[in-house]
Homo-oligomer: A and B are copies of this chain.
Amino acid sequence: MDLIRNYFEKSFELNDQEWEFFSSKLIKRDFPKKHILLKPGQIENYLSFIQKGIVRFYIPKENNDLTFSFAFENNFVSGYNSFLTQTPSTYYIETLTETNLWQLTYDDLQEIYQKTKIGNAIGRHASEQLFLKKIQRELSLLSETPEQRYKNLFSNQIELIKHIPLKYIASYIGVTPQALSRIRRRIS
């Protein structure tokens, strides 16, 4: 659980009292491989910190579904738009490996917002970070080649990427599995 505190303390001053209150709301839950955390139509009730594991975000499609994002260890995962607006999700979130989460419910988060000073700062920070990530992603999709995107993903997440089936990575990068197989061959 110190992981989470460390994570926050990169961005905030967090005193023991605030941390006590915050962490008292966190519930640890473990999920097996291929477990669906969120389905289209469901309303996301959790903001979760990934202690261990990998999850993917996807939208089902006829042939191959569209994997548009991953989340790794030491990061937050949530159907964030559904969570924020408390409206039905439009996509799936699924574990790819055994996954250990620390979960915070929507109601508990609202309470944290109201009862602590740091709450709102944390919430705003989370939104900002997500937004920044999406801008990065937009620029990557517009200006980089699939090969460059693969290399970047690879150099950022060397170990973790090994556990992700190639076809999901291909989709995330924006090419077919065949194309990624060839990219892989020519850069190795």
Of the stretches A16-24, A130-138, A150-158, A176-184, the one at the interface is: A130-138
Interchain CA distance A114-B26 in the complex, whole Å: 29
Chain A, interface size category, equals 20 to 34
CB-CB nearest in chain B for A142: B174
Chain B residues contacting A84 (CB-CB under 8 Å) are 124, 128
User: Looking at chain A's contact residues, is the secondary structure mostly helix, strand, loop, or mixed?
Assistant: helix
Known: A81-B132, A131-B130. A141 touches B141 (CB 8 A): yes
Let me know if A127 and B131 touch, CB within 8 A.
yes
- Nearest Cβ in chain B — how far from A143, in angstroms? 5
A59 at the interface (CB under 8 A from B): yes
Let me know if B141 and A85 touch, CB within 8 A.
no
- Nearest Cβ in chain B — how far from A128, in angstroms? 5
* Cβ 8 A contact of A134, one of B124, B134, B143, B174: B134
Chain B residues contacting A171 (CB-CB under 8 Å) are 142
Chain B residues contacting A139 (CB-CB under 8 Å) are 59, 66, 68
Known: A134-B135, A135-B134. A85 touches B128 (CB 8 A): yes
* Cβ 8 A contact of A174, one of B59, B66, B80, B141: B141
CB-CB nearest in chain B for A132: B81
Let me know if A138 and B143 touch, CB within 8 A.
no
CB-CB nearest in chain B for A113: B120
- Nearest Cβ in chain B — how far from A171, in angstroms? 8
Tell me the A residues contacting B by CB distance below 8 Å: 59, 61, 66, 68-69, 80-81, 84-85, 120, 124, 127-128, 130-132, 134-135, 137-139, 141-143, 171, 174
Contacts A/B (CB < 8 Å), 18 sampled: A61-B143, A66-B143, A68-B135, A68-B139, A80-B131, A81-B131, A81-B132, A84-B128, A124-B127, A127-B127, A127-B131, A130-B131, A134-B137, A137-B138, A138-B141, A141-B141, A141-B142, A142-B174
